[in-house]
Amino acid sequence: MVKTSDMTVPPSSLFDDFSRCLNLFENGGSVINLKYDSEKYSIEDLLDRTWVQKEMKLLSMANVAIPKHGCFCLLHPGILFWEEDRDDVQLLHEEE
């Protein structure tokens, strides 16, 4: 099983994709950031619009609260890669 938190690159095989979706499903869904193929699809073609929290159109990316029953939408070929959102980015100044 591939842990989503360890993913730094999009998985290269369908098996990996499926494993990650299954993992997400077992966790009851999550908030994710994804990149989609904006030349062929709009975000509505790929997911339920109500799940989308933020859309970054110029980056072809979206922040999506994916419910448990929607996890396997991420196998759509129009979704290029995704990873779970997190809030561990820190300011890089040294504490006194």
Nearest to 43 by CA among 30, 59, 29, 31: 59
Strand partners, 36: 79
Query: Are 56 and 96 in contact, with CB atoms under 8 Å apart?
Result: no
Q: How far is the CB of 82 from another protein (least distance, A)?
A: 7
Among 1, 44, 50, 89, binds another protein (CB under 8 A): 89
Query: Are 52 and 44 in contact, with CB atoms under 8 Å apart?
Result: no
Binding mask 37-56 for another protein (x = CB under 8 A): ----------------xx-x
User: Distance from CA of residue 77 to its chain's centroid?
Assistant: 13
Q: How far is the CB of 96 from another protein (least distance, A)?
A: 9
Here the tokens at position 49 are 């619009």
Binding mask 3-42 for another protein (x = CB under 8 A): --x-xxxxxx------------------x-xxx-------
Binding region for another protein (CB under 8 A): 2, 5, 7-12, 31, 33-35, 53-54, 56-59, 61, 63, 81-83, 85-94
